[in-house]
Amino acid sequence: MMGQTAVAVKADNFYHQSTNKYSGILSWLLTIDHKRIGLMYMVSIIFFFLVGVIVGVLMRLELMAPGKTIVDAQTYNALFTLHGVIMIFLFIIPGLPAIFGNFFLPIQIGARDVAFPRLNLLSYYLYVIGAVLALLSLVLPGGPIDTGWTFYIPYSVRSTTNISLPLLAAFILGFSSILTGLNFITTVHRLRAPGMGFFKMPLFVWATYATAWVQIIATPVVGITILLVIIERLFGVGIFDPALGGDPILFQHMFWIYSHPAVYIMILPAMGVVSEIIPTFSRRTIFGYTAIAMSSLAIAFVGYLVWAHHMFTSGMSDTARWIFSLLTFLVALPSGVKVFNWVATMYKGSIDPQPPFLWVMAFIFLFSIGGLTGLVLGALATDVHVHDTYFVVAHFHFVMFGGTGTIFFAALHYWFPKMFGRMYNVKFARISVATFFIGFMLLYFPKFIMGYMGMPRRYYDYLPQFANLQMISTIGSWILSGTIFFIVGYLLHALFKGPKAPSNPWGGVTLEWHIQSPPIMENFKTIPTITHEPYDFSQLKEMKNA
Amino acid sequence: MRNDHEAVVVEQHVHRDDVGARMGMWLFLFTEVLLFGGMFLVYAVYRYQHTNDFRLAAMELNTGIGTLNTIILLTSSLTVALAIAAIQKKNKFLSILLLSVTILFAFMFMVNKYFEWSAKFEHGIYPGSEELLNRSNGQILFFGLYYVMTGLHGLHVIIGVVILLFILVFIIRDKVTFDNYVKLENAGLYWHLVDLIWIFLFPLFYLIQ
């Protein structure tokens, strides 16, 4: 480890400085400090993530053996819907931008806070309200929603379970997401420190910036779609009801116009975190800075135009199908650009395999599998065969959990000492990467095989020939969830009992490593003037002497 | 965690940045345009599928009330713009007056809308009504979209009125002044958006027959 100048952590940091006149819990609940809001998001989001994990484990338990194992079919329908809704709307969409974007985006561009601090707090409470409504719908009469997280019409209009309330929750969560995106875009445009041109911004900022645009462009469309479904349920206007002339496939189009770009909301910030971690632990400037920055924007743009590849079997003209297939292949290119640049950055670097770097290694491996199997789904002929099978489920979990989920842990391990001023047990962290990887492969890789053999997704029961693979998958879920709870455990321990962390434990050079851990309120005593390129490691010497 | 409660209040955490505030507002308006864009997309698809039914159904709408409401909203956009000009010229009273007129126009719009919808209801034309269900699918969709789109627009008028009322109070209490009027500007922008959406709704529902 470099930069080990043991800076004594000063007592004055943002944990002791309030933006309002209150102290104690109210100083947190009413705070407008971006770091505190980021931490409040962190607590809420990790809570819901763990709930989602438990639901996932229950699903795997049910599927451990053919026939009924622990729950009945209707409960299983509710479980997979719940798992999807929680993981997507409450964990992975807000996850990286709301926690790490909030905490580090202003710091990395040399700002004291985001452009609209009060709006930022409002976004948080909208998130909370959305989450509460979603949970409320589980216990209210009618029963938990059972449509799957895609809310497909006409079932979502006919089902007698609570549909409108979780839909409203999704709408409110979308609004929260829009406000966060709007805040970040304005922050990047207005609050960069002197000398911080757009092409001196760290790549995490670029990625979050591109994400923010997707949030703004895509989310309103699903907002109106969700409202239309609620209106359909309440008044029966017929817009999506075939009996009255409406078109259910139009719903699918409008749903995916958002929900496909949403996967880029999920993955782009993760790619930004990777672009931070790799240079730091390779002691080498990033290879192809401009290419990585531009590929984020390219993904954001092209990603908006590929939605109908979710609907190759839904009824569309052949022309539309091959155009969407072509665009789908095109959107794989910028991701490829990034992967090659990351690998090239490591070449001749001085690699220090600390836990965040190991997480990134796991990410590159898992995400590449996820990305390449995406091409199988994007190709028309093969998609007809594997559409709506476990193959899709496996692909999605490899890119989302293997991609964004893994990087969520990478970011957590990378910035933990900065956020809390404490260090976790590095040995535990290394072990957990390994067991995470094993559990992950056991859990999700058999799904590729089962999907290829024809096992449909969302089925409660299955044929005996799938029994062995389903069993392996369930065993994987125990290892994986065990690892996750282990990680939460040692991080919580580090939070209270961990040794004090120096201000720059990894030898990073972006702005957050120039300030103390944990940072002070408003981050900088004086706003820095930026003279270096973002990943110029020649700064390390001056930083040590400073 | 680390609980010595010496809360140091950091003064002026929220800094003033008019350009940033306007930028944020424009981005927000952009999302509003996309929200209605989804509706316009649905309208376009169904109009293409049921051209003749849409034409027939549109003839039943009251073009007179629609025109009147268009005039009202366009004028209210003018008055809110003049309210900004007035505050720039340090004429607080005129600004308050013009803003009040804007709000009055908004109420007139909603009253007209109320009478228009009630008339339709009296003729038994509303979602799920027997009268409507006996008609062709195209007409059902036309009136469905009519209620949803003008309803959503009406909701935006109401939100706009609430925003304008807040700004009115701000002006009265001198929180919006000649050298700090970005809140009024942003409220005006929102009001122009409400107007703009109506300018598209009006021909699509009332004029193309």
pLDDT tens-place string over residues B55-92: 999 999 999 999 999 999 999 999 999 999 999 999 99
CB-neighbour burial class of residue A471 (10 A; exposed 0-12, middle 13-18, buried 19+): middle
Nearest to A278 by CA among A397, A363, A208, A335: A363
Chain A interface includes B32 (CB < 8 A):
yes
**CA–CA dist A388, B149 (Å, integer):** 34
Distances (CA, A) of A93 to A138, A454, B75, B110: 21, 30, 42, 38
- A4 has a pLDDT exceeding 90: no
Residue of A nearest to B53 (CA): A245
pLDDT-based confidence at A22, cuts 50/70/90? confident
In this complex, which of B1, B30, B148 lies closest to A496 when CB atoms are compared?
B1
H/E element holding A17?
strand A17-18
- B10 has a pLDDT exceeding 70: no
In this complex, which of B14, B20, B49 lies closest to A32 when CB atoms are compared?
B14
How many angstroms away from the CA of A19 is the closest CA of chain B?
Answer: 5
Cβ(A481)–Cβ(A436) under 8 Å?
A: no
Residue of A nearest to B2 (CA): A15
- Cβ distance A254 to B41 less than 8 Å, yes or no, reads yes
Tokens representing B137 are: 């699918």
pLDDT-based confidence at B9, cuts 50/70/90? very low
H/E element holding B140?
helix B137-172
Q: Which residue has the tokens 């875009």?
A: A185
User: Residues with Cβ < 8 Å from A130, sequence gap 6 or more?
Assistant: A89, A90, A169, A170, A171, A172, A173, A176
Amino acid at B130: E
Chain A interface includes B7 (CB < 8 A):
yes
Contacts of B13 in chain A (CB under 8 A): 19, 32-33, 112-113, 117, 522
- Cβ distance A254 to B38 less than 8 Å, yes or no, reads yes
pLDDT value for A277: 97
- Cβ distance A250 to B45 less than 8 Å, yes or no, reads yes
Query: What does DSSP assign to residue A90?
Result: I
- Cβ distance A224 to B39 less than 8 Å, yes or no, reads yes
Contacts of A227 in chain B (CB under 8 A): 152
Q: How many CB pairs under 8 A join A and B?
A: 142
- A418 has a pLDDT exceeding 70: yes
Chain A interface includes B37 (CB < 8 A):
yes
CATH domain B18-207 topology: Four Helix Bundle (Hemerythrin (Met), subunit A) (1.20.120)
- pLDDT cut 90: percent of chain A above it: 88
- Cβ distance A18 to B138 less than 8 Å, yes or no, reads no
Tokens representing A201 are: 């911004």
Average predicted confidence (pLDDT) for chain A: 93
**A124-168: pLDDT as tens digits:** 999 999 999 999 999 998 889 999 999 999 899 989 999 999 999
Chain B interface includes A11 (CB < 8 A):
yes
Chain A interface includes B130 (CB < 8 A):
no
Could you give the angle at which helices A289-302 and A248-282 cross, rounded to 10 degrees? 170
What's the mean pLDDT in A374-401?
Answer: 95
Chain A interface includes B59 (CB < 8 A):
no
**CA–CA dist A171, A303 (Å, integer):** 21
pLDDT-based confidence at A359, cuts 50/70/90? very high
Distances (CA, A) of A185 to A192, A207, B27, B204: 11, 11, 9, 34
Instruction: Cite the beta strand spans of B101-206 per DSSP E.
Output: none
Partners of B8 in the β-ladder: A17
The most distant pair of C-alpha atoms in chain A lies apart, rounded to whole Å, by 75
- B160 has a pLDDT exceeding 50: yes
Amino acid at A273: V
B8-9 vs A17-18, strand pairing mode: parallel
Q: What ipTM does this complex have?
A: 0.91
**CA–CA dist B37, A339 (Å, integer):** 35
Nearest to A342 by CA among A370, A361, A321, A319: A361
Cβ(A234)–Cβ(A164) under 8 Å?
A: yes
Chain A interface includes B24 (CB < 8 A):
yes
Query: What does DSSP assign to residue B8?
Result: E
Residue of A nearest to B43 (CA): A239
**CA–CA dist B10, A522 (Å, integer):** 8
How many angstroms away from the CA of A330 is the closest CA of chain B?
Answer: 25
Nearest to A409 by CA among A424, A422, A396, A395: A424
Nearest to A55 by CA among A145, A153, A129, A141: A145
Contacts of B37 in chain A (CB under 8 A): 220-221
- Cβ distance B38 to A220 less than 8 Å, yes or no, reads yes
What's the mean pLDDT in A505-517?
Answer: 94
Partners of B177 in the β-ladder: B180
- A7 has a pLDDT exceeding 90: no
In the CATH scheme, what is the code of domain A25-545? 1.20.210.10
**CA–CA dist A52, A54 (Å, integer):** 5
- A274 has a pLDDT exceeding 70: yes
How many angstroms away from the CA of A56 is the closest CA of chain B?
Answer: 31
Instruction: Cite the beta strand spans of A49-159 per DSSP E.
Output: none
Give me the half-sphere count of Cα atoms (radius 13 Å) on the Cβ side of residue A162: 18
Q: What share of chain B is helix, strand, coil (3-state, %, to 5)?
A: 80, 0, 20
pLDDT value for B70: 97
A 506-525 near B (Cβ less than 8 A): 521-522
In this complex, which of A27, A220, A521 lies closest to B34 when CB atoms are compared?
A220
Contacts of A18 in chain B (CB under 8 A): 7-10
- Three-class secondary structure assignment of A335-348: HHHHHHHHHHHHCC
pLDDT value for A11: 58
In this complex, which of B2, B50, B141 lies closest to A239 when CB atoms are compared?
B141
How many angstroms away from the CA of B2 is the closest CA of chain A?
Answer: 7
Chain A interface includes B127 (CB < 8 A):
yes
pLDDT value for A21: 83
Cβ(A13)–Cβ(A523) under 8 Å?
A: no
Chain A interface includes B141 (CB < 8 A):
yes
- Which one of B1, B5, B9 would you mutate to disrupt binding with A, by most A Cβ within 10 Å of its Cβ? B9
- B4 has a pLDDT exceeding 70: no
- Cβ distance A182 to B24 less than 8 Å, yes or no, reads yes
pLDDT value for A415: 97
Chain B interface includes A10 (CB < 8 A):
no
pLDDT-based confidence at B128, cuts 50/70/90? confident
**CA–CA dist A154, A175 (Å, integer):** 25
**CA–CA dist A330, A299 (Å, integer):** 9
Tokens representing B125 are: 């034309």
B 142-171 near A (Cβ less than 8 A): 144-145, 147-148, 152
The DSSP annotation for B58-123 comes to: HTTS-HHHHHHHHHHHHHHHHHHHHHHHHHHTT-HHHHHHHHHHHHHHHHHHHHHHHHHHHHHHHT
